């Protein structure tokens, strides 16, 4: 008999998916160029040429037996070594190949990281607003996701609310900076305070509490800043990365877990991830993709369009009277909906072919998300629709 | 605190891995060409040029946004459609795209298939000898792997033993044909009898019992035969495939689940697999690899070397007096060890630089496995060592 558990999941379709499908259908009617589709977080700039060149070089020059052969369950040693070297140089860390575990994107990274440092029944704290898939990533391991309410002024961390969330069962804290959907980037002050509180709680409960840091938007940071590297602030940190956004290759499913060398059991966590893989059917990401990303470390797609789009939208939203926190990175912005009801707001917006996503499922009721990973031309053309929408309806 | 469950797995190193590492170390001493390494099931022939050409064409001609973009969680629709069409033509089935779920190899396929048709506490029956990873693939879902003893004469299925293994909790039967490690290929008679017994048990217990058919060696079949297609024999069949062996791309992690259109809930199982993925961090295999394999459907690497090697080894083993069943496919052969103790036998063989694997961990104590996916020249040179070993020691 098919699993009733998974069968029961079929009825729910995500709001984002519904809106994206609506946008596509509407596009078939009036031309997709006339639909201001802010629904999906899909990169809108092409992969850098260096990645394509690396793939072609591997295919044409490498021994196919070696190129397409099994890699170690932790990932190809040379690939892990290259990642360690790059991260050490970039962030002043002391990783070796043993601290790296190659994964199928951030989803694969978090799936392994959570299992590595929790047991069923444990609690994993995260912060609203959060990527809704965190529910699956954590709860499907047998641990439980505990959500700390948002600080809706700055979208940094409400440390008092966090303090209240810790229990004897807290095994990990899961952060996402820069953040989907708010666009907020945690400051050094936030990470310092987070580390201090986590250290205090480790002492109080007399067991390790790991920081799982989900950083797929690390390279999309505005105003010339660099995202503070959470592992710098807290020893027991597992950094989860994906190349989906930085290289514009979300379909190729490649990322990693980097275990802070100062973490407890730092020397075995990556090996444990290899064991975890056996039960997940994961068995490391494709060899050629591992090799290709390790040849273009430090490269990114041309990410500047996201900052351009953010500035255009932020200025317009502010001038239209929206309450909105200026994003520090990502390709999202999350204003408060006018009228208070974000579902109603987003529904009305459809009349103007503005596809906006209520942020309720992200744990931010009353807000909406705009994914501005679209052409700047369309962003500019959408402003008139946004103005008319606000003028007509509010 | 790190997971004590996964930490406890670190102490055990597989026998195959130990022997493979020994072979590598010994190779450093005397030259690897002089080590008759039959330990690892790694393809020994290169990927077909058509796959490489397809990859390069995709990289040079396709729109990179489309090529590297997210695919649906079930896999790229056109890729699933192409697979359905190919399987229909090849095996006379009636798949549509909706019956296909693209996976990261057979490991990924089984991880999803087991979860789709079992719940924690259910039993999944398999047959000795079996790929040891089945323990992880099944038991880590919360279901329990139940092992039916081998028919050590033919390595087909002992139907009486199978009948005894069914209980109210049996949710699935997991087969692997052609088989790792025995090389046996299930005959039409075996599959007919299996289907009849499973149908009887479905009726007896009044619930579906699914057949999960693991077929990575489907294309490596000897004597000009074609492997009978299990889904033809039994409606509730989930076919799990990997391109690792047929295309010699084990590192690229690509395969699929094909749901028999006649299965109960056939129209939703692939969609359920998409839901299952969310908790496993899987999120479909890389887009470019999906697209490339769908362009070379029906192509294989030059697999003829495996049959050549099998015939050389089989004849020699028989003439040396080994009890051995002639493989119908794969690149494995599994003779009975001389002297009865396969561990002792394989240990003594190392003195002759013959690296043989005791089949005890495969559920076949007293047997050993030879993976003859190596150069024919080395197979031929190994015969003298094999003769000397048998003459000296037995």
* B154 and B103 share one domain: yes
Q: Which residues of A touch B70 (CB under 8 A)?
A: 42, 250-251
Q: CA of B391 to nearest chain A CA: how many angstroms apart?
A: 36
Q: Verify whether the Cβ–Cβ distance B268 to A118 is below 8 Å.
A: no
- Per the CB < 8 A criterion, the answer to whether A323 and A340 are in contact is no
Measured between CA atoms, the residue of chain A closest to residue B66 is A251
Q: Which among B107, B118, B286 has the least Cβ separation from residue A252?
A: B286
The H or E element spanning position A26 is helix A15-30
* Average pLDDT, integer, range A356-377: 97
Measured between CA atoms, the residue of chain B closest to residue A106 is B281
pLDDT for residue B359 is more than 90: yes
* A73 and A36 share one domain: no
pLDDT band at A284; cut points 50, 70, 90: confident
* B236 and B90 share one domain: yes
Q: Are strands A357-358 and A354-355 parallel, antiparallel or unpaired?
A: unpaired
* A190 and A313 share one domain: no
Name the one residue in this structure whose structure tokens are 């950094």: A239
Count how many residues are written for chain B.
394
pLDDT for residue B74 is more than 80: yes
Tell me: the pLDDT tens digits for B54-65? 999 999 999 999
Domain at A61, CATH number: 3.40.640.10
- Between the alpha carbon of residue A347 and those of residues A357, B101, B241, the distances in Å are 9, 34, 44
Q: Which residues of A touch B278 (CB under 8 A)?
A: 107, 133, 136-137, 140
pLDDT computed for residue B193 by the predictor: 98
pLDDT for residue B208 is more than 90: yes
pLDDT for residue A283 is more than 90: no
Q: Verify whether the Cβ–Cβ distance A42 to B249 is below 8 Å.
A: no
- Report chain A's terminal Cα–Cα distance, integer Å: 52
Q: Verify whether the Cβ–Cβ distance A286 to B252 is below 8 Å.
A: yes
Q: Verify whether the Cβ–Cβ distance B108 to A252 is below 8 Å.
A: no
pLDDT for residue A201 is more than 80: yes
pLDDT computed for residue A15 by the predictor: 86
pLDDT for residue A301 is more than 80: yes
Which is nearest to B248 in space by CA: B212, B299, B284, B199? B299
* Average pLDDT, integer, range A336-362: 97
Q: Verify whether the Cβ–Cβ distance A281 to B110 is below 8 Å.
A: yes
pLDDT computed for residue A71 by the predictor: 86
DSSP state of A104: S
pLDDT computed for residue A329 by the predictor: 98
* Average pLDDT, integer, range A43-50: 97
CB atoms within 10 A of CB B17: 12
CA angle A363, A364, A366 (to 5 degrees): 140
Q: Pick from A277, A295, A313: which residue ends a domain?
A: A295
DSSP state of A149: P
* A28 and A66 share one domain: no
Q: CA of A387 to nearest chain B CA: how many angstroms apart?
A: 31
Residue A81: give the domain boundaries: 49-295
Domain at B342, CATH number: 3.90.1150.10
CA dihedral A176, A178, A184, A188 (to 10 degrees): 90
* B255 and B339 share one domain: no
pLDDT for residue A12 is more than 80: no
Burial (CB count <10 Å: 0-12, 13-18, 19+), residue B308? middle
DSSP string, A313-361: HHHHHHHTT---PPPSBSSEE-PBPTTS-HHHHHHHHGGGTEE-EEGGG
Name the one residue in this structure whose structure tokens are 């033809």: B232
pLDDT computed for residue B44 by the predictor: 94
Q: Pick from B255, B279, B295: which residue ends a domain?
A: B295
Measured between CA atoms, the residue of chain B closest to residue A265 is B2
CB pairs under 8 A between A and B: 230
Q: CA of B190 to nearest chain A CA: how many angstroms apart?
A: 24
- Per the CB < 8 A criterion, the answer to whether B73 and B389 are in contact is no
Q: Verify whether the Cβ–Cβ distance A283 to B6 is below 8 Å.
A: no
Which is nearest to B39 in space by CA: B350, B393, B388? B350
Q: Verify whether the Cβ–Cβ distance B104 to A107 is below 8 Å.
A: no
pLDDT computed for residue A38 by the predictor: 97
Q: How far is CA B274 from the centre of its chain?
A: 22
* B245 and B318 share one domain: no
Backbone angle region of A92, left / alpha / beta, with phi > 0 → left and psi within -120 to 50 → alpha = left
Q: Verify whether the Cβ–Cβ distance B65 to A271 is below 8 Å.
A: no
User: Looking at beta carbons, which pairs linking B42-45 to residues 24 or more positions away fall under 8 Å?
Assistant: B42/A69, B42/A70, B42/B250, B42/B371, B42/B373, B43/A65, B43/B244, B43/B245, B43/B248, B43/B250, B43/B301, B43/B331, B43/B373, B44/A65, B44/B305, B44/B331, B44/B373, B44/B374, B44/B375, B45/B248, B45/B301, B45/B302, B45/B303, B45/B305
pLDDT for residue A135 is more than 90: yes
Segments in B118-187 forming alpha helices (H) = 134-139, 159-165
Q: Which among B9, B119, B281 has the least Cβ separation from residue A282?
A: B281
Residues 6 or more apart from B304 whose CB is under 8 A from it? none
SS3 A386: helix
- Between the alpha carbon of residue B156 and those of residues A147, B106, B114, B328, the distances in Å are 53, 22, 23, 11
SS3 B257: strand
Q: Verify whether the Cβ–Cβ distance A68 to B254 is below 8 Å.
A: no
pLDDT band at A159; cut points 50, 70, 90: very high
- Per the CB < 8 A criterion, the answer to whether A184 and A178 are in contact is yes
Count how many residues are written for chain A.
394
Q: Are strands A100-103 and A255-259 parallel, antiparallel or unpaired?
A: antiparallel
Q: Verify whether the Cβ–Cβ distance A2 to B208 is below 8 Å.
A: yes
* A41 and A91 share one domain: no
Q: Which residues of B touch A59 (CB under 8 A)?
A: 52, 55-56, 59
pLDDT band at B283; cut points 50, 70, 90: confident
Of A280-289, B238-247, B364-373, which range is least confident?
Answer: A280-289
Q: Which residues of B touch A140 (CB under 8 A)?
A: 278-280
pLDDT computed for residue A386 by the predictor: 98
Distance CA B202, CA B97 (A): 28
Segments in chain B forming alpha helices (H) = 4-7, 15-30, 49-61, 64-67, 77-91, 105-117, 134-139, 159-165, 188-205, 266-280, 287-295, 304-319, 342-349, 376-393
- Between the alpha carbon of residue A158 and those of residues A150, A165, B199, B252, B289, the distances in Å are 7, 11, 59, 44, 44
* B346 and B241 share one domain: no
pLDDT computed for residue B385 by the predictor: 98
Q: Which among B110, B275, B282 has the least Cβ separation from residue A104?
A: B282
Q: Which residues of B touch A68 (CB under 8 A)?
A: 47, 248-252
- Per the CB < 8 A criterion, the answer to whether A116 and A90 are in contact is no
Q: Which residues of B touch A265 (CB under 8 A)?
A: 2, 7
Tell me the β-bridge partners of B144. B123
Q: CA of B131 to nearest chain A CA: how many angstroms apart?
A: 13
* Average pLDDT, integer, range A267-284: 92
Tell me: the pLDDT tens digits for B128-166? 999 999 999 999 999 999 999 999 999 999 999 999 999
Q: CA of B351 to nearest chain A CA: how many angstroms apart?
A: 28
Q: Which residues of B touch A141 (CB under 8 A)?
A: 279
pLDDT for residue A226 is more than 90: yes
pLDDT band at B17; cut points 50, 70, 90: confident
Q: Which residues of A touch B111 (CB under 8 A)?
A: 279-282
pLDDT computed for residue B282 by the predictor: 81
Q: Pick from B280, B295, B310: which residue ends a domain?
A: B295
* A53 and A162 share one domain: yes
Distance CA B51, CA B57 (A): 10
Q: Which among A119, A248, A281 has the least Cβ separation from residue B280?
A: A281
pLDDT computed for residue B97 by the predictor: 98
Helical pair A266-280 and B105-117, crossing angle rounded to 10 deg: 60
* B333 and B234 share one domain: no
* A279 and A326 share one domain: no
Q: How far is CA A264 from the centre of its chain?
A: 25
pLDDT computed for residue A236 by the predictor: 98
* pTM as predicted: 0.96
Q: How many CA atoms lie within 13 A of B347 on its CB side?
A: 6
ipTM of this predicted structure? 0.95
SS3 A154: coil
Q: How many domains does chain A have?
A: 2
Q: Verify whether the Cβ–Cβ distance A281 to B137 is below 8 Å.
A: yes
Q: Which residues of B touch A280 (CB under 8 A)?
A: 111, 140, 280-282
């Amino acid at each position: 008999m098919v699993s009733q558990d998974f069968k029961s999941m079929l009825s729910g379709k995500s709001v984002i998916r519904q809106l994206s499908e609506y946008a596509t259908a509407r596009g078939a009617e009036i031309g997709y160029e006339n639909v201001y589709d802010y629904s999906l977080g899909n990169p809108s700039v092409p992969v850098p040429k260096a990645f394509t060149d690396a793939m072609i070089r591997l295919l044409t020059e490498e021994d196919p037996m070696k190129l397409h052969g099994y890699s170690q369950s932790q990932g190809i040693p040379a690939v892990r070594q290259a990642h360690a070297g790059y991260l050490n140089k970039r962030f002043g860390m002391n990783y070796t190949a043993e601290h790296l575990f190659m994964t199928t994107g951030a989803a694969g990274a978090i799936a392994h990281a959570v299992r590595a440092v929790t047991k069923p029944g444990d609690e994993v704290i995260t912060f609203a607003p959060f990527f809704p898939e965190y529910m699956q990533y954590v709860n499907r391991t047998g641990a439980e996701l505990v959500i700390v309410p948002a600080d809706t002024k700055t979208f940094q961390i409400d440390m008092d609310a966090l303090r209240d969330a810790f229990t004897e069962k807290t095994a990990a804290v899961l952060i996402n900076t820069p953040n989907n959907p708010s666009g907020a980037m945690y400051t050094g002050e936030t990470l310092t305070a987070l580390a201090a509180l986590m250290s205090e709680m480790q002492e109080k409960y007399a067991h390790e509490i790991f920081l799982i840091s989900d950083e797929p938007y690390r390279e999309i940071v505005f105003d010339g800043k660099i995202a503070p590297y959470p592992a710098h602030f807290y020893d027991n940190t597992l950094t989860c990365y994906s190349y989906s956004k930085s290289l514009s290759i979300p379909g190729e499913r490649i990322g990693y877990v980097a275990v802070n060398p100062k973490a407890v059991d730092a020397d075995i966590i990556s090996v444990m991830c290899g064991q975890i893989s056996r039960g997940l059917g994961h068995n490391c990401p494709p060899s050629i993709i591992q090799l290709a990303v390790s040849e273009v470390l430090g490269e990114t797609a041309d990410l500047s369009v996201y900052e351009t789009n953010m500035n255009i939208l932020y200025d317009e939203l502010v001038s239209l009277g929206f309450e909105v926190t200026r994003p520090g990175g990502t390709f999202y912005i999350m204003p408060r909906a006018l009228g208070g009801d974000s579902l109603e707001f987003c529904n009305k917006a459809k009349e103007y072919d503005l596809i906006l996503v209520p942020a309720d499922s992200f744990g931010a009721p009353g807000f909406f998300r705009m994914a501005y990973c679209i052409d700047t031309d369309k962003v500019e053309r959408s402003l008139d629709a946004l103005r008319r929408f606000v003028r007509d309806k509010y």
